[in-house]
A = this chain, B = another copy of it.
Amino acid sequence: MVPEYEILTPDTVPAYIEKTPRLDGIVDTSTLEVSEVGDGNLNLVFVCKDGNGDGICLKQSLPYVRLVGEGWPLTPERVIAEARGLAAAVDHVPDLVPAYYALDEDNYVLAMENLIGWDMWRIQLNEGNSHPGVGAKLGRYVANLAFYTSLFAVDQQEIKQRLAQAVNPELCKITEDLVFTEPYIDVPNNSYVDELIPEVEGMRADARLRAEVGMLKYKFMTAGEALIHGDLHTGSVMVRHGEGGGECKVIDPEFCYYGPVGFDLGALFGNYMAARARAAVLDRPVDYQQWLADLGPETWDAFEAEMRRLWPDRLDKTWTDSFLDAWLAHVSQDTIGFGGCKANRRIIGLAKVTDIQELPHDDHVKAATTVLRTASTWIRDRADLKTVAEANKVFDEVSAEVMG
């Protein structure tokens, strides 16, 4: 498949920047160094830095999934979805996302701030580094999107149009397949070490688990609550140390669409679980493990606090304070359920996480087993897990059992 638009290369990027009016003056193209750093899953990503230290980042969609090659076509329109998600965040949490420079809809190029000096959070977590306060910032990110793009802040007539414009069926299908479907059936995309076979077979034979995963998939496909990020794992978060503690920027919202608020929180929770399992088998310092264990509650508490702070500004005052309590309980249950689905897929299905995958074999088996059992309990029993703290307890119990 040959794209019908100009595919950028490191060599052509300077000329592209020069001819794009909205990018004029952001960098000095005569001294620009360009490298392509897309981590391989979907897109081309050009990181550019000039002699003055100024930067720009260009992200270009290809008409297929890069990870698996041209055999899996995928609309390049996804960069338009990403721009939509970025723009929404720029409006409400500008400190938590890159600056947004331009969208070129003809060539499917999104231009944004180059995050020089920032690192991918997953890699930092893998190395045992903590960035205090990042969990709370992510809770604030989710809350602001949840509030300002939803019925709470958008007129009822307007939001139906926004929901219609923001449909993102091809990207949603990837999530539907990889998160909710494939891990629970036998397909070539799956892979796992032999020691996990009994775990995986047990999950597939568990009718109740399958039904609950199905209900979460159904909710993912039908609940148009807010413009959610759609892929908010720890690889979609860039971090650095700032004066007041850890800082973060959320990137890659190309899966964004009107979906359930708990899905973004669940993505974080599922990935926190993987980070915890890794730290446990590697016997990281107790303080670090405790910091990881607290990430979930920290994220949730910040989400809840921000929702309560914004709540007086809601459009519909007949949604009472008691409604907010009920709504938060509903999001909490979704978060725990989606968190379980996000964790399981990272062990069994396509697109694994380095947290667990790159461990020594025996550690990998223990960590993966811990994640699968915890995640499946979260999914199955989420109605009984009233708080994030209770969900954390499941991890503690399972890891004690598996890791001894």
- Where the two chains meet, the residues of A that have a C-beta atom closer than 8 Å to any C-beta of B are 151, 156-157, 160-161, 163-165, 167, 169-170, 172-173, 176, 181, 184-185, 207-208, 210-212, 214-215, 217-218, 221-225, 316, 318-320, 322-323, 325-327, 330
Contact = CB atoms under 8 A, between A and B. Distances in A.
B151 A323 contact: no
19 contacts: A156-B221, A160-B169, A160-B172, A161-B169, A164-B164, A181-B316, A181-B318, A184-B318, A208-B322, A210-B318, A210-B320, A211-B323, A214-B322, A215-B326, A218-B319, A218-B323, A222-B225, A223-B223, A224-B224
A214 B319 contact: yes
A185 B210 CA distance: 42
A325 B214 CA distance: 11
Given A215-B327, A326-B215, A222 B224 contact: yes
Nearest to A219: B223
Contacts of A181: 316, 318
- Of A169, A185, A327, chain B has the most CB atoms within 10 Å of the CB of A169
A163 B223 CA distance: 12
Contact of A212 (B163, B185, B318, B326): B326
A234 to B, nearest CB: 27
Given A207-B322, A222-B225, A225-B222, A156 B169 contact: yes
A208 B164 CA distance: 33
